[in-house]
């Protein structure tokens, strides 16, 4: 029996999906099924109650999962320690990130990391915030990058930095003539917003409510790129992370305006599953992510 088979079984138990277990281990769904069947023959036990409606481990399956998890963690710790002794930084790092971080904040860090560790492969997935958490918890990825991190007993949170939020407007918008404005000036304005479940939107809604300011949400999108395009056609104003509009401001397709009332920042963080064994490559990548831009 190979450790790889035990890992496939654990990934299947955690994701409750043959598709995801296959994706994590770079094998076919058929291969996952075959490995589970082989384990059931080896232990002469039914490990999974197969039903179209619900995925569930049997009692024997739960016991195998508990012990297999310990075996895999011990093996990964051993592998990581041996790499450290040999000063080897290699392997693959799987990252899930929200769009704004992945498209604008992350690239220079990956470039810096790859220059120092060219033998490491970084695979990046662009996801909505809730999907980043799901992918980390189900071991589909090693690390997640989010804004406004949500505490979870199953997650480790590594604070990275705070990013300033600024108001953006079309060059012909009345706000474009001002270097800064007060929050109350936004009352009644047409605003291009993130969708209500996006963490940055939730934070901004809270700030507006605290200042008793009501705006007119004319459009809602799930990513910053579409928000910017809507502001560029003068459909409304918006509040976005400063780093996401560097090019547009340089080309003067958008104008940035500072908001005077308080500090508008969003916290960024890396997340990974608790008890996860971090390879030397992952440790170095996290170290670089924590550096000043």
pLDDT in tens, 96-134: 999 999 999 999 999 999 999 998 999 999 999 999 999
Q: Which residue has the tokens 């009692």?
A: 59
pLDDT class for 26, splitting at 50, 70, 90? confident
Which stretch of 20-29, 163-172, 195-204, 268-277 has the lowest confidence by average pLDDT? 20-29
Query: What span, in angstroms and rounded, lies between the C-alpha atoms of 171 and 77?
Result: 55
Give the range among 51-60, 123-132, 156-165, 222-231 with minimum mean pLDDT.
51-60
CATH of domain 162-266: 3.40.190.290
What does the alpha-carbon distance between residue 206 and residue 197 come to, in Å, rounded to a whole number?
A: 13
Confidence of residue 78 (pLDDT cuts 50, 70, 90): confident
Which helix (DSSP H) or strand (DSSP E) does residue 190 occupy? strand 190-194
A 10 A CB-CB count for 15 gives 21
Could you tell me the CATH superfamily of domain 91-161+267-289?
Answer: Periplasmic binding protein-like II (3.40.190.10)
Question: Which residues, listed in sequence order, are joined to residue 257 by a DSSP beta bridge?
Answer: 167
Tell me whether the CATH fold assigned to 3-85 matches the one assigned to 91-161+267-289. Answer: no
- Token pair for 4: 């790889």
In tens, the pLDDT along 194-224 reads 999 999 999 999 999 999 999 999 999 989 9
Q: What is the mean pLDDT of residues 134-155?
A: 93
CATH 1.10.10.10 fits 3-85, yes or no: yes
In whole numbers, what is the pLDDT of the chain averaged over residues?
Answer: 90
Q: Kindly report the pTM of this predicted structure.
A: 0.78
Instruction: Tell me how far apart the alpha carbons of residues 162 and 165 are, in angstroms, rounded to a whole number.
Output: 9
CA angle 71, 76, 80 (to 5 degrees): 150
| Element of type H or E holding 48 | strand 48-49
Segments making up each domain of the chain, as ranges: 3-85, 91-161+267-289, 162-266
The token pair at 266 is 């969003």
- Average pLDDT of span 167-188: 92
């Amino acid at each position: 029996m190979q450790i790889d088979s035990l890992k496939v079984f654990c990934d299947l138990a955690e994701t409750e999906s043959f598709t995801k277990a296959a994706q994590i281990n770079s094998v076919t769904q058929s291969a996952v099924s075959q490995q589970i069947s082989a384990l059931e023959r080896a232990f002469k036990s039914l490990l999974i109650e197969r039903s179209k409606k619900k995925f569930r481990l049997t009692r024997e399956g739960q016991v195998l999962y508990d012990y297999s998890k310990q075996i895999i963690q011990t093996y990964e710790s051993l592998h990581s320690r041996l790499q450290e002794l040999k000063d080897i930084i290699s392997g693959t790092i799987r990252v899930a990130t929200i769009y704004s971080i992945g498209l604008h904040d992350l690239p220079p860090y990956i470039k810096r990391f790859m220059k120092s560790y060219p033998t490491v492969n970084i695979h990046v997935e662009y996801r909505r915030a809730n999907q980043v958490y799901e992918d980390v918890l189900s071991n589909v990825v090693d690390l997640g990058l989010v804004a406004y991190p949500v505490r979870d007993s199953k997650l480790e949170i590594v604070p990275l930095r705070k990013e300033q939020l600024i108001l953006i407007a079309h060059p012909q918008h009345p706000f474009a003539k001002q270097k800064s404005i007060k929050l109350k000036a936004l009352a009644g304005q047409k605003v291009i917003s993130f969708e209500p479940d996006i963490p940055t939107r939730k934070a901004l809604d809270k700030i507006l409510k605290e200042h008793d300011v009501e705006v007119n949400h004319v459009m809602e999108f799930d990513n910053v790129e579409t928000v910017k395009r809507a502001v560029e056609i003068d459909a409304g104003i918006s509040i976005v992370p400063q780093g996401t509009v560097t090019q547009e401001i340089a080309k003067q397709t958008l104008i940035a305006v500072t908001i005077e009332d308080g500090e508008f920042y969003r916290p960024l963080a890396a997340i990974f599953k608790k008890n996860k064994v971090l390879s030397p490559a992952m440790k170095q990548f996290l170290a670089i992510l924590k550096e000043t831009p």
